[in-house]
Amino acid sequence: MSSVKPHLDPFILSASGFREVGIWGLQDDGALMPLQKVPAGPGVYAFVIGNRVVYVGVAIGGLRRRLRCYARPGKRKTARRIRDEILKAVDRPVRAMCVQPSDTQWNGLPVNIAAGLELGLIQTYDLPWNRRHASMSVKAATVSEKAGSP
């Protein structure tokens, strides 16, 4: 039994603390122009076309460094794939948004909120550029069933 995931509206992200950090553009040579207003620290980022979030990711090593990877992906497979998606959509503005949630603790154990937020968004919403988006809710349900969760 499959359920249809809803699209993620960027207004939901804005209301949750995400802010726009730029619009992908092209340099004279046709390469992606790196975004300029991206914070350096870790966080979650989203790419938006129109009123739909098409991709979310987590940047544990820093948002600025991670988003620069899309402009110059090198051998990074996912970065190349997403860069190609951005280039295909360049006639429509592809906006970047980000948030930097603070980590916390649960019962004295460390919790990475950014990683959990990314996973929750992928499991809950239809994000067409996220490759694992289609299988995440099925895997999560299977794990819960095996663990005996209700």
- Residue 30 sits at φ, ψ, to 5 deg, of 90, -5
**Percent of the residues in the chain that have a pLDDT greater than 90, as a whole number:** 77
pLDDT at 138: 45
pLDDT at 128: 97
Has domain 10-138 been given CATH number 3.40.1440.40?
A: yes
pLDDT at 140: 47
pLDDT at 2: 59
54-89 pLDDT, tens digit per residue, is: 999 999 999 999 999 999 999 999 999 999 999 999
How far from each other are the two terminal CA atoms of the chain, in whole angstroms?
17
Taken in order 22, 27, 32, 36, the sign of the CA dihedral is: negative
Q: How far is 8 from 117, CA to CA, in rounded Å?
A: 14
Please state the domain extents for the chain.
10-138
pLDDT at 27: 87
pLDDT at 147: 46
pLDDT along the chain (150 residues), means of 10: 86 98 91 91 97 97 95 94 93 95 95 96 97 55 45
Measuring CA to CA, which residue among 82, 13, 94 is closest to residue 47?
94
Please report how many Cα atoms fall inside a 13 Å half-sphere around the Cα of residue 60, on the Cβ side. Answer: 6
Q: How far is 79 from 67, CA to CA, in rounded Å?
A: 9
